[in-house]
Structure 1
């Protein structure tokens, strides 16, 4: 879509939408389903704190956009729809159905809703086939997990994901998946600590693995203000200076590569964390993000961006550049 056909105003690159016919998600143990109880959706036994209307209702998402002065939303499937534990064939079939559904749901509002797809990341051939399908359908990008089993996104085991997207010119949105971890059983710590750590793990593997040295054309955005990465860049730089194994695959300190190449949304949940992000990232690579419609979303992302001194025109242009629409 030409830029002039998008609605003028704020672009939110981090929001979620899932077709209702994709509520049964393939997994290693068979199928896990979204079910409705008392008006709220559950993923298995876990309450996800949204309603069917919020995660699957285009009229609802448009109305909520209007209420928050958001002109355009880039919508992706929620992270539990990445189906990372499913077998390659099941994951490929599910990714295709999710992507076809998102394109269909956004088709009546191309000026306001931009769908980005999911990939069967656990298989190289299936990933390549789905990338080709997305490009043929005019989809601008994909949402992928930062960690898949024992591999992080910058590891050689997942190079087919980043290389395939780079070859196709697709934007990449990296979204954590709230993986179970020892010690994170209570207090929602899988999300509160686990999600920002997952994002930082992928960022570190990409920076230290030399991914941008090899594929500088990649456009990768990390949600939730790049997780805890901004607070750890100094530690990573120190390790890069002091240890040959840390510096083995890149000639530049991680903070320099982070500033030059990484995109992030401004969803940092506090002014102090947002200011740190703004100090460590290139101002041309920070975007608006809400995490709509989940409980950890910023209900007023435009107000939050204004509190950080971020300008609408700059945020919009940054989002367009990330999407390859500039």
Structure 2
């Protein structure tokens, strides 16, 4: 089983690149874990699974995972920093991920980060990420600077990823835009409501701006099952079938376009997972757990048992599709 949605946090961070660098992370270790603080504000209590290879491998064995695809905790993507500071943070995080992969290359694949607040700077960092660090791609936020990742200003990034044969894993991030909390504490509302809504808008942007048609070799996967996208897609399909303007916008069927993308299985409930299988097809789905965080799906492969899939379909979701997404040849 290859789990494409797992996160890491470095055990330590370098000092901020200059005085007054707001939004820089640090770790306060104590007892059996550590508190991640960003810009002086406590963000999340963590344990050694986030940075220690041996602890992580033991947890993987319990969860039934053969390979973890390691990506940064989304709060470490650093889009609120200045571009140069964001590059400094990205290099520190990427170096830590690469070190974990080197310790257990048969069990880990690494995805890094680049400072997408400056697309040109981000693109310039991609060769180092691939050739010097050996990472397989990048994780990127669903929204950067108010724009969904699928918007045209990121097209040069997608072209560069395609040229370097790097994968793209899209995860929702904190945007800094206040939204109704719907009775939940604001910090919980971001994770439980804003994340899936933003993710659905981001996937829709990839279709609406025809990214795959322009960059057909781009391999892109969306976390959390695409968030709200599964409920948006049937509406897009009906509009495409019945409205000439929408038909011209999408060209091909939105469902067929969506089936050219990858999505993880992190939707928690088997009926929702069944909906993804029926709507997006077996060939689009990869295992995702959100390990090692509280909201993770324990033993995510077990959720497939209730779907009655064929052995070939099970193999595809457990590992085959992930290998295609990551460009793994062995």
Partner of 1:182: 179
Alpha-carbon distance, 1:290 to partner? 0.7
Residue among 15, 22, 25 paired with 1:33: 25
Residue among 3, 18, 23 paired with 2:9: 18
1:153 aligns with 2:145: no
**How many residues were matched structurally?**
315
Q: CA deviation digits over 1:99-118, x for unaligned, max 9?
A: 12211122020000111111
Partner of 1:6: none
- RMSD of aligned C-alpha atoms? 2.4
Partner of 2:69: 74
Partner of 1:135: 130
Q: Which 5+ residue runs of structure 2 have no aligned equivalent?
A: none
Alpha-carbon distance, 1:48 to partner? 2.3
Q: Distance in 2 between matches of 1:207 and 1:174?
A: 14
TM-score (structure 1 length as normaliser): 0.88
Q: Which 5+ residue runs of structure 1 have no aligned equivalent?
A: 1-9
Distance 1:308 1:161, change over 3 A: farther
Tell me the secondary structure at the aligned position of residue 73 of structure 1.
strand
Q: Distance in 2 between matches of 1:318 and 1:177?
A: 25
Distance 1:325 1:182, change over 3 A: same
Partner of 2:324: 321
Alpha-carbon distance, 1:304 to partner? 1.5
Q: CA deviation digits over 1:60-82, x for unaligned, max 9?
A: 11110011111111101110011
Partner of 1:271: 270
Alpha-carbon distance, 1:291 to partner? 0.4
Partner of 1:3: none
Alpha-carbon distance, 1:169 to partner? 1.0
Structure 1 residues 34-43 or 85-94, which shifts more?
A: 34-43
Tell me the secondary structure at the aligned position of residue 98 of structure 1.
helix
Alpha-carbon distance, 1:178 to partner? 3.6
Tell me the secondary structure at the aligned position of residue 119 of structure 1.
coil
Alpha-carbon distance, 1:148 to partner? 0.5
TM-score (structure 2 length as normaliser): 0.87
